[in-house]
Structure 1
């Protein structure tokens, strides 16, 4: 389920929690929900920013801010598109704006 960023983990955790509610008792489902909530926070705020920083050279803080802003403005689609848009803006600033200012 994690092939879709920011959505796959949530989908997987919902499927696992529902299956545990149906097949086991509520305690196991509650433990699974707590585990996945902790996992999603670590993935979203620690692991993903580091990977994006190395892959796209976007600082981790920009990744988190872009994903939050895109998600709040346009929902899931905005969160998925926000990081490449932020990377594009950084490249434009580095390649166009800064050299143009240096020529002056």
Structure 2
């Protein structure tokens, strides 16, 4: 079954997007050739290591608290914080507590 993505003009509630089932908490909400928007629901202690994409990204911490490791420096983020990374930046995301994060990936034109 194909993953469901939001349609143009569709309003999506990020907290319960597409009625996620237990154990499947992160989901791409929008996926087009230009942009991908991913809802990350992270349990406390969860680590996404060595994350890197070609295009620029933003991480928006909506709930909870995370740390983002870039070049051996950790940047704490809490609800309401936004972080921008240029394309090709390698990072690690660690949830300090149960967190909800919106990841936006801007894809480079082919």
Same fold (TM over 0.5): no
Higher Cα Rg, which structure: 1
Structure 1 or 2: larger strand share? 2
Structure 1 or 2: larger helix share? 1
Structure 2 length-normalised TM: 0.25
